[in-house]
Amino acid sequence: MRFEKMKFKNLILIFISALLSSCGVYSFKGASISKDIKTISIQYFPNYAPLIQPTLSAAFTEALQSRFTSQSRLDIVDKNGDLNIEGSIIGYSVAPIAIQSNETAAMSRLTITVSVKFTNKKDSKQDFESTFTRYADFSSTDNLSSVEENLIKQINDLLTEDIFNKALVNW
């Protein structure tokens, strides 16, 4: 009985050791980053959407930088990073989504679309150009200006997660 407990403990220790000393490419956050990649440059995302929200460019760029610094070991540099992300905001719209019997909207949807170009100096096979779109719904009885900041934060969180996953989570 004692021998089996020791054997089981040893197997667990071997498994944990193997897990922790693996090739070092994967992290517990899911990012798959080669050891030779140390830096990332994330350029400012200008707003070219037909409907302009004045603080959106700065808020989105900051959210994207924050996502990469908090969920990877990469250092952000102004330019010439091992990885580079650039792009623009190409869509910002509000539309009704739930029409009531009296033909008024019960719910509205704020949608943001960004165009992203990702380049990897060490492995060009991972480069991509993609468009990402996310939205958040709100009650049409709410004034957009009173909920807009919170909605933008929610949407930015979703967009930056999508971009991070496409760029670094190669499952």
**Average pLDDT over every residue of 107-127:** 95
Residue 160's closest CA among 110, 54, 82, 89? 89
Across all residues in the chain, what is the average pLDDT? 85
pLDDT at 47: 97
Tell me the pLDDT tens digit for each residue of 131-153.
Answer: 999 999 999 888 888 999 999 99
Residue 50's closest CA among 88, 87, 91, 89? 91
CA distances from 35 to 6, 26, 98, 152, 159 (A): 36, 10, 49, 34, 26
pLDDT at 118: 97
pLDDT at 145: 87
Tell me the pLDDT tens digit for each residue of 88-103.
Answer: 999 999 998 877 767 6
pLDDT at 90: 98
For the chain, which residues make up each domain, given as ranges? 29-168
Is the pLDDT score of 16 beyond 90?
A: no
CA distance 82 to 163: 17
CB of 140 closer than 8 Å to CB of 106: yes
State in words which class domain 29-168 has. Answer: alpha beta
Q: pLDDT exceeding 90 applies to what percent of the chain?
A: 65
**Average pLDDT over every residue of 27-44:** 79
